[in-house]
Amino acid sequence: MAEVKKIATRDSYGKALVELGAIDERVVAIDADLAGSTKTGMFKKAYPDRHFNCGIAECNVMGTAAGMAAMGLIPFASSFAMFASGRAWEVIRNSIGYPHLNVKICASHGGISVGEDGASHQCCEDFALLRVIPGMLVMSPADDVEARQMVRAAYEYDGPVYIRLGRAAIPVFHDEATYKFQIGKAEVLHEGNDIAIISNGVLTYEALKAAEKLEQEGIHARVLNMGTIKPIDAEAVVAAAKECGGKIITAEEHSVIGGLGEAVCAVLAEKYPARVRRIGLQDVFGYSGPMADLMVEFGLDADSIVKETKAFLAE
Amino acid sequence: MTPERIRELKLIANKGRMYIVKETHAAKSGHPGGSMGAMDLMTYLYNEEMRIDPQNPKDENRDRFVLSKGHCAPGLYAVLAMRGFFPEEDLMTIRKIGSYLQGHPNMNTTPGVDFSTGSLGQGYSAACGMANAAKNVLKKDINVYALLGDGEIEEGLVWEASEYAAHYGLDNLCIAVDINGLQIDGATKDVMNMEPIDEKFASFGFNIVKIDGNDYNDLEKAFAAFHAVKGSGKPTAILMQTVKGLGVSYMENQASWHGKGPNDAECAQALEELEATRRLIEAEGADVSPKAETPSGIQRGED
C-alpha cells in the first residue's frame, strides 16, 4: 500500500457540512464552545446566521437541536463524543430519540486516539450508549472519503443519526471516484477466506495493513469495513462467518462491551454461531499519551491485529 | 376581556378540571394536582392567546406550546380536546394500551401536542430551540410558550436554556413558571429552595411578570406584558402563583396529590364539588373562582 495523505474525519465533517449548507437553508449547526475543534467553525464562517453556539452546555445543545428539528430545520449538533454521547445522553434519548427527530449528532474526538488529554476525554462508550436508543443510526467513518459521504447520507436520511468522528489525521485510502457509502452496508476491503476482520473508524486502516502482512505469511484475511454499526449489515457478517472458517475478529476504538464487537456477536449468536475475538478496550479506561503509542499500548495497531489473528487461527 | 368572556373561560377550565379528575380516575394514575393548578393558564393560552387552528394542527405558522412539566398531560389533553383537536370521549383512554394519549405528551401521536415531554427541563430547552428557529432562521412571527413547574426549575438544564434564551434575544419566547410551592417530596422551599425565583430569571435577562395564575385578569395582563416587550430581545417569564389541586378540596395544596388517581369515592366527591362550582359560576358570573385556603399542612407525595 503506497503512502497516502492523512485527513482527520472531523475536518471531513466540516467540509461536508459547508457543502450541505450551500444546498439547503434548513441545515443549521449547533455547538458547545468547540466549533474550532469539531470543525463546525468552517460552517460558522460560511453561514454565520445558521450557526448557534450554546456555550459549554451540551444538554442544551441536544434540547435546542430537538426544538429546531421540530420546526423543520435539519440541525447538526456537535461536541466531543464524550460529552455529546455521555453527558447529554438522556436528552438525546427523550428529546431526539423518542420523538424520532431529524437531528444529526456529529461527535468529534471519539476513542482513545484523542491521546494526551487522557481518560476523561477518551470516549470509548459512545457506540454502546447510542446503539441502545430505538431508531438511532450509529456510524463511524474509516477515512475522509467515507466521512464526507456519511455526513451526506445522514443528511439525506430522515431521522436521528449519530456519527463518531476522530481528532487525529488518518490515512485516506478510499477512492473518491469509485467508493459509494451506503447506510447499513459493509464494504469488503480485502478478500480472503481464512478468517474475517470486521472493523470501523481508525481500526479499518490498521486491519487493512494487518491483512497485507498476513497475506505475506500465507494467511488470507477478509477485511470488512463496517461504517454503520446500527443497523449492522447482518448479511455481510453471516457471509463472513460462513465463508471465512467460522472465525471473526472485530476491531474498534471502543470498549469491547456494547460496540461493534458485541453487535457482531449478537448477529452470529442468533443467525450463525461462530467464534469471535474482540479487539478494543478490554473494560478499562485509557490514559494520556501520544496517539500512536496508545494504539500500541491498547493493542489497536496492525501488528497487534496480526498477532491476535494468528493466535486465534492457532486455537 | 369582558366579564362574560371570563365567565366562559372559567366554565371551560371547570369542565377541564372535571376531565382531569375523570382521566386520572379512569387511568388509576396520573398527575391531577399540578394539572388542576395550571388549568387556567392552559385554558387562557389555547382560547385567548395562541394562534392555532385545531383543524390544521400541523400548520407551520402556528404558535407553539410546550408542556415542559409534561406530567400535567391530563390537563393539556382536556384543554386540547375541548378546543377541538380530538374527541373529548377519547380522554378516558389516557394511559391505556393503544391510546394516543400517553402518560406524558407525545408529539407524534397526539394532535395539538407540539413537543414530547416528561423528562423535566427538556421541553423548555426544546422550546428555546423552537423560538430561535422561528425568530433567527425561519424569520417568522411565531410565538413559543412553555410551562414549567417550580420544582422543575431545580434542573440544571433550565438554566442552560435560560442563558440561551437571553443570549439569542428570544423575545418570541414566553415561559410560565407554575409556582404552587409543592413537589413530590414536600414543599419546594424545604426540598430545594429556589427563591428568589424572580431575581434569578431577571438576572438572566428575562422580562418578569408576577401574577396570580388562577386569575384571568392577571393572565390577560401577563400576556400583554409579553407582547409589550417584542422587539426588546428579552424573553418573558411569567411567574404565577397557583394552587396545586385547585377546585377539589381534598387535593388543594397537598403534595400527596401530585401523582395519583382518585378512587371511586374521591372521584365522586371531586366531581360533586366541581359541579357545585360550575353552578356558582353560571349563577353568579365572573366574580366566582374556586379559591383555596393557605396550606395548613404539607404532605409528602409519591410518584
Q: Whose CA is closest to A140, among A65, A75, A180, A199?
A: A199
Is the pLDDT at B296 greater than 50, yes or no?
Answer: no
Chain A neighbors of B102, CB-CB under 8 A:
none
The burial of B176, by beta-carbon neighbours within 10 Å (0-12 exposed, 13-18 middle, 19 or more buried), is given as buried
Of chain B residues 112-131, which have a CB less than 8 A from chain A? Answer: 114-116, 118-119, 121-122, 124-131
Answer for the pair B157, B124: CB distance below 8 angstroms, yes or no.
yes
The mean pLDDT of B69-96, rounded to a whole number, is 98
Residue A136 in this model has a pLDDT that exceeds 70: yes
DSSP of B161-220 = HHHHHHHTT-TTEEEEEEE-SEETTEEHHHH-----HHHHHHHTTPEEEEEETT-HHHHH
Q: Which of A242-251, A306-315, B187-196, B289-298 has the lowest mean pLDDT?
A: B289-298
Residue A191 φ/ψ, nearest 5 degrees: -80, 150
Average pLDDT value for residue range A161-179: 97
Domain ranges of chain B: 3-287
Chain B residues in contact with A66 (beta carbon < 8 A)? 115, 122, 125-126, 129
- Mean pLDDT over B199-209 rounds to 98
- At residue B295 the predicted structure's pLDDT band, cuts being 50, 70 and 90, is very low
* pLDDT higher than 90, residue B286: no
Q: Give me the interface pTM, i.e. the ipTM.
A: 0.95
Q: Report DSSP letters for A166-235, one per residue.
A: -SSEEE--S-TTT----TT--EEEE--SSEEEEE-THHHHHHHHHHHHHHHTT--EEEEE--EEES--HH
Domains, chain A, ranges and CATH? 6-171 (3.40.50.970), 187-314 (3.40.50.920)
Q: Residue B118: is its pLDDT beyond 90?
A: yes
* Encoded amino acid at B259, one letter: G
Q: Is A253 a catalytic residue?
A: no
- Tell me: pLDDT of B302 over 80: no
The yes-or-no verdict on residue B292 having pLDDT over 90 is no
Residue A77: its H or E element: strand A74-77
Q: Percent of chain B scored above 90 by pLDDT? A: 93
Tell me if A90 and B125 make a contact (CB, 8 A cut-off). no
Question: Measured between alpha carbons, how far is B160 from B147 in angstroms, rounded to an integer?
Answer: 16
Instruction: Determine the residue among A24, A25, A58, A64 to mutate to test chain B binding: the one whose Cβ has the most chain B Cβ atoms within 10 Å.
Output: A64
For residue B4, give the DSSP letter: H
Could you tell me the three cell numbers for B87? Answer: 374527541
Say which range, A118-132, A147-161, B142-156, B286-300, has the weakest mean pLDDT.
Answer: B286-300
pLDDT of the residue at B102:
98
On whether any CB of chain B is under 8 Å from the CB of A226, the answer is no
Whether the pLDDT of residue B188 is over 70: the answer is yes
- B138 in reach of chain A (CB within 8 A): yes
Q: How many alpha carbons lie under 13 Å from residue A299 in its C-beta half-sphere?
A: 18
| Whether pLDDT at A1 is above 70 | no
Whether A47 and chain B come into contact, CB under 8 Å, resolves to: no
Q: Which residues pair with A188 in a beta bridge?
A: A224
Residue B234: C-alpha distances to residues A237, B164, B230 (Å): 55, 11, 8
Which residue carries 468522528 as its cell?
A165
Q: How confident is the model at residue B293 (pLDDT cuts 50, 70, 90)?
A: very low
What percent of chain A is modeled with pLDDT above 70?
99
**pLDDT in the model for residue B284:** 73
Single-letter amino acid code for the residue at B102 = Q
What does pLDDT average to over chain A? Answer: 97
- Rounded CA-CA distance A291/A110 in Å is 12
Of B108, B137, B156, the CB nearest to A100: B108
Tell me which chain A residues have a C-beta less than 8 angstroms from the C-beta of B106.
98-99
Tell whether the model's pLDDT for residue B66 goes beyond 70.
yes
Cis status, amide bond into A231, omega within 30 of 0: yes
Specify the residue for cell string 388517581: B261
Given this model, what pLDDT does residue B291 score? 56
CA distances to A204, A239, A280, A291 from A199, rounded to whole Å, are: 5, 15, 10, 18
pLDDT of residue B285: 60
Domain B3-287 indexed as CATH 3.30.565.10:
no
CB count within 10 Å of CB B102 equals 19
Average pLDDT, chain B: 94
Chain A contact present for B106, CB below 8 A:
yes
Looking at residue B297, its pLDDT comes to: 43
Q: Cβ–Cβ of B160/A73 closer than 8 Å?
A: no
Question: Exposed, middle or buried: residue B205 (CB in 10 Å: 0-12, 13-18, 19+)?
Answer: middle
In which band, very low, low, confident or very high, does the pLDDT at B287 lie, cut at 50, 70 and 90?
Answer: low
Calculate how close chain A gets to B293, using CA atoms only, in Å: 38
Residues from chain B that touch A57, judged by Cβ atoms under 8 A, are 160, 163-164
* pLDDT higher than 50, residue B139: yes
Residue of A nearest to B126 (CA): A67
A60: nearest CB among B106, B119, B164: B164
- Among the partner-chain residues B60, B130, B157, the one whose CB lies closest to the CB of A59 is B157
Residues of B numbered 60-79 whose beta carbons fall under 8 angstroms of chain A's beta carbons: which are they? 60
Question: What stretch of H or E contains A126?
Answer: helix A126-131
Q: Please determine, for residue B82, whether its predicted confidence score (pLDDT) is greater than 90.
A: yes
Band of pLDDT at residue B12, cut at 50, 70 and 90? very high
Catalytic residue among A19, A58, A191, A262: A58
pLDDT of residue B214: 97
Residue of A47, A60, A68, A73 for testing the chain B interface, max B β-carbons within 10 Å: A60
- Residue A3, Cβ neighbours under 10 Å: how many? 6
pLDDT for position B294:
42
User: What CA–CA distance (Å, rounded) separates A11 from A17?
Assistant: 10
Query: Can you give the length of chain B in residues?
Result: 303
Q: What mean pLDDT comes out for the span A150-154?
A: 98
Residue B59 has pLDDT above 90, yes or no: yes
Q: Kindly tell me if the per-residue pLDDT of B47 is higher than 60.
A: yes
Is the predicted pLDDT of residue A272 greater than 70, yes or no? Answer: yes
pLDDT score recorded for residue A3 = 67
Residues of B in contact with A96 (CB under 8 A): none
- Angle at which helix B32-44 crosses helix B3-27, to 10 degrees, equals 150
Residue A191, classified by CB atoms within 10 Å of its CB into exposed (0-12), middle (13-18) or buried (19+), is exposed
Nearest CA in chain A to B128: A64
Cα A67 from Cα B122, distance rounded (Å):
10
B/e letters for A7-26, b = 16+ CB within 10 Å, e = fewer, are bbbbbbbbbbbbbbbeeeeb
**Nearest residue to A12 (alpha-carbon basis) of A34, A33, A42, A35:** A42
A275 DSSP β-pair partners: A247
pLDDT at B142 over 60: yes
